[in-house]
Amino acid sequence: MAVVTEAPPPLTSTSPDKPPRRRGRWTPYWLLLPGILWLVVFFALPMIYQASTSVQTGSLEEGYKVTWHFATYWDALSEYWPQFLRSVLYAAAATVLCLLLGYPLAYLIAFRAGRWRNLIMILVIAPFFTSFLIRTLAWKTILADGGPVVATLNALHVLDVTSWLGWTSGDRVLATPLAVVCGLTYNFLPFMILPLYTSLERIDGRLHEAAGDLYARPFTTFRKVTFPLSTPGVVSGTLLTFIPAAGDYVNADLLGSTDTRMVGNVIQTQFLRVLDYPTAAALSFILMAAILFMVTFYIRRSGTEDLV
Amino acid sequence: MTTDNSGDVRLAGISKTYGSFSAVHPLDLTVPQGSFFALLGASGCGKTTTLRMIAGLEEPSTGTVHLGEQDVTHLPPYKRPVNTVFQSYALFPHLDIFENVAFGLRRRGIKSVKKQVEEMLDLVQLGEQARKKPHQLSGGQQQRVAVARALINHPKVLLLDEPLGALDLKLRRQMQLELKRIQTEVGITFVHVTHDQEEAMTMADTVAVMNGGRVEQLGAPTDLYENPQTTFVANFLGTSNLIKAEVDSGSGDEIVLKAGDGKLTLPKARCSAPTTAGGTVLVGIRPEKISLTHADDAGEIPAGRNRVSGTIAEASFIGVSTQYVVDSAVCPALAVYVQNVDRDPRLVPGADVVLHWSPAHTFGLDAAQDIDAGIETVEEEAA
Q: How far off is chain B from A293, nearest CA to CA, in Å?
A: 27
Average pLDDT, chain A: 88
DSSP-based three-state secondary structure for B307:
strand
Instruction: Give the A window 192-231 contacts with B, CB below 8 Å.
Output: 204, 206-207, 209-217, 220, 224-225, 228-229
Is the pLDDT at A4 greater than 50? The verdict is: no
The arithmetic mean of pLDDT across residues A48-58, rounded, is 90
In terms of Cβ atoms closer than 10 Å to its own Cβ (0-12, 13-18, 19+), residue B360 is middle
Residue A253 lies in a domain: yes
Q: What is the DSSP string of A104-140?
A: HHHHIIIII-GGGHHHHHHHHHGGGGS-HHHHHHHHH
Domain with A182, as residue range(s), is 84-306
Residue B271 DSSP code: B
Report the C-alpha gap between B182 and B36 in whole angstroms: 11
Residue A40 lies in a domain: no
* Structure ipTM: 0.82
What's the total number of domains in chain B?
Answer: 2
Domain co-membership, B110 together with B258: no
Residue B231 lies in a domain: no
Residue A70 lies in a domain: no
Question: Which of B195, B226, B257 lies at the terminal end of a domain, its last residue?
Answer: B226
Q: How confident is the model at residue A22 (pLDDT cuts 50, 70, 90)?
A: low
In terms of Cβ atoms closer than 10 Å to its own Cβ (0-12, 13-18, 19+), residue A302 is middle
CA B316 and chain centroid, separation: 27
Interface check for A307 against chain B (CB to CB < 8 A): the answer is yes
Q: Indicate which CATH number applies to the domain containing A126.
A: 1.10.3720.10
Domain with B371, as residue range(s), is 240-382
Domain co-membership, B221 together with B244: no
In this structure, are residues B268 and B250 in contact, taking their beta carbons and an 8 Å threshold?
yes
Question: Tell me, what's the pLDDT at A20?
Answer: 53
Question: Tell me, what's the pLDDT at A224?
Answer: 95
Query: Do A307 and B94 lie within an 8 Å CB cutoff?
Result: yes
Domain co-membership, B222 together with B322: no
Is the pLDDT at A92 greater than 70? The verdict is: yes
pLDDT tens track, chain B, 383 positions: 445 677 899 999 999 999 899 999 999 999 999 999 999 998 889 999 999 999 999 999 999 999 999 999 999 999 999 999 998 899 999 999 999 999 999 999 998 999 999 999 988 889 999 999 999 999 889 999 999 999 999 999 999 999 888 788 888 888 898 889 889 888 899 999 999 998 999 999 999 999 999 999 999 999 999 999 999 999 999 899 999 998 887 777 888 898 887 889 999 888 888 777 788 899 999 999 999 999 999 888 898 899 999 999 999 999 999 999 999 988 888 999 999 888 888 999 999 999 999 999 999 998 888 888 887 654 444 44
B219-228 LR contacts (CB < 8 Å, sep 24+): B225/B201, B225/B286, B226/B286, B226/B361, B226/B363, B227/B270, B227/B363, B228/B284, B228/B363, B228/B365
Residue B2 lies in a domain: no
Q: What is the DSSP string of A227-258?
A: HHHHHHHHHHHHHHHHHHHHH--HHHHHH--G
Domain co-membership, B149 together with B298: no
CA B262 → CA B10, B284, B306, distances in Å? 48, 15, 9
Residue B69 lies in a domain: yes
Report the C-alpha gap between B105 and B79 in whole angstroms: 13
Domain co-membership, B217 together with B269: no
Backbone dihedral angles phi then psi of residue A29, each to the nearest 5 degrees: -70, -40
Domain co-membership, B245 together with B330: yes
Comparing C-alpha atoms, which of B10, B25, B5 is closest to residue B65? B10
Report the C-alpha gap between B256 and B265 in whole angstroms: 5
Interface check for B108 against chain A (CB to CB < 8 A): the answer is yes
Query: Do B103 and A228 lie within an 8 Å CB cutoff?
Result: no
Domain co-membership, B270 together with B372: yes
Residue B232 lies in a domain: no
Ranges A9-18, A23-32, B18-27: which has the least confidence:
A9-18
Give the mutation candidate from B48, B103, B106, B110 for the A interface (greatest A CB count, under 10 A). Answer: B103
In this structure, are residues A194 and A124 in contact, taking their beta carbons and an 8 Å threshold?
yes
Residue B4 lies in a domain: no
Question: Tell me, what's the pLDDT at A106?
Answer: 96
CA B228 and chain centroid, separation: 12
Report the C-alpha gap between B210 and B219 in whole angstroms: 12
The arithmetic mean of pLDDT across residues A54-74, rounded, is 86
Q: Indicate which CATH number applies to the domain containing B259.
A: 2.40.50.100
* B83 vs A contacts (CB less than 8 Å): 213-214
The arithmetic mean of pLDDT across residues A153-180, rounded, is 90
Residue A77 lies in a domain: no
What's the total number of domains in chain A?
Answer: 1
Domain co-membership, B162 together with B49: yes
Query: Which amino acid, one-letter code, is at B21?
Result: F
> Which secondary-structure segment (H or E) carries B144?
helix B139-151
Q: In degrees, to the nearest 5, what angle opens at C-alpha A13 toward C-alphas A12 and A16?
A: 75
Residue A231 lies in a domain: yes
Residue B33 lies in a domain: yes
Question: Which of B226, B255, B275 lies at the terminal end of a domain, its last residue?
Answer: B226
Residues in chain B: 383
Domain co-membership, B172 together with B287: no
Q: What is the pTM of this model?
A: 0.81
Interface check for B93 against chain A (CB to CB < 8 A): the answer is yes
Domain co-membership, B270 together with B304: yes
Residue B258 lies in a domain: yes
Q: Specify the pairing of strand B9-18 against strand B82-85.
A: unpaired
Q: Indicate which CATH number applies to the domain containing B205.
A: 3.40.50.300
Report the C-alpha gap between A271 and A297 in whole angstroms: 30
How many CB atoms lie under 10 A from the CB of residue B167? 18
Domain co-membership, B46 together with B116: yes
Residue B89 DSSP code: B
CA B135 → CA A201, A204, A304, B91, distances in Å? 19, 14, 17, 9
Share of chain A above pLDDT 90, in %: 67
Interface check for B104 against chain A (CB to CB < 8 A): the answer is yes
Question: Tell me, what's the pLDDT at A21?
Answer: 57
In this structure, are residues B352 and B276 in contact, taking their beta carbons and an 8 Å threshold?
no
Domain co-membership, B220 together with B314: no
